[in-house]
Structure 1
C-alpha cells in the first residue's frame, strides 16, 4: 500500500528504535510494527484506551480508532478520489462495500460537483 513519505520516515525511525531496544528486538519474533514496551503484541483494548487518552489530551471529541478509516475515506472522496482507489486504500473486499458504506459522502461530493458546474455555466448567479 502506498504511504505518504512523511509517514514512511516516521515508521523507519520507529523501526530503528525497536531494533535499538534489545528486549523489544528479542521478544518481537513476529516482526510486528507496533508492540508493547516488552516487544509483545498489543492488546486491542489497550490500543483503544491509549487512543481515547490521546483524544482527551488533544481536546477533541473521543472517537473509536476504527473511525479514522471513515475519516480517511471521507477525505479521499472529498478530494475527488475515485471509489476504486478508495476501495484499494481501505482494503475493502469489493467496490460495493466502499460505495455502500460511503454513499452519503459520494452523493455529497456529486452535489458539490454539480453545483460547481452550475456556477461555471451560469457565472451571473
Structure 2
C-alpha cells in the first residue's frame, strides 16, 4: 500500500466503526504501539529527541543546526538538552553507535 507518511497504522474509526488507514494522531499511543510491536519497554517520544541531539552533538553537528532540527526557538533550550546528557550517557551512545554500524561485537562488557 502506498502511504505518504512514514508512521501510519490501521485502526477502527470511532465515527464509522470501519477499519481506516492513516497517520497516528496521538504521540503517546503512537510510541506505546511501536514499543509493543518492537517488544521493548515503553518510553516516551521525548527520549528520541534527546538521543538524536546527543548523537548529532557527538558527531560535531553545529548547535545551530541541532537547534533548527529540534525546532527550538531559543538556542538556550538546545543547550539544556545537550548539557543534560552526562559522560556516562555519552559513552553509552558511543557504544550504541558503534554497535549499530557493526564496529563492536554484540556483547559489550559492563563496567
TM-score with structure 1 length normalisation? 0.47
The structure in which a higher percent of residues are strand is 2
Q: Secondary structure at the match of 1:37?
A: strand
CA RMSD of aligned residues (A): 3.2
Which of 1 and 2 has higher RCO (CA within 8 Å, sep 6+)? 2
Residue aligning to 1:93: 73
1:77 and 1:58 mapped to 2: Cα distance? Answer: 27
Residue aligning to 2:20: 37
**How many residues are aligned here?**
75
1:99 and 1:50 mapped to 2: Cα distance? Answer: 28
1:65 and 1:59 mapped to 2: Cα distance? Answer: 16
Residue aligning to 2:4: 15
Structure with bigger gyration radius:
1
Show structure 1 runs of 5+ residues with no match: 1-12, 17-35, 113-125
Contact 2:53 2:81 in 1 (8 A): no
1:70 and 1:14 mapped to 2: Cα distance? Answer: 28
The structure in which a higher percent of residues are helix is 1
TM-score with structure 2 length normalisation? 0.51
1:88 and 1:57 mapped to 2: Cα distance? Answer: 31
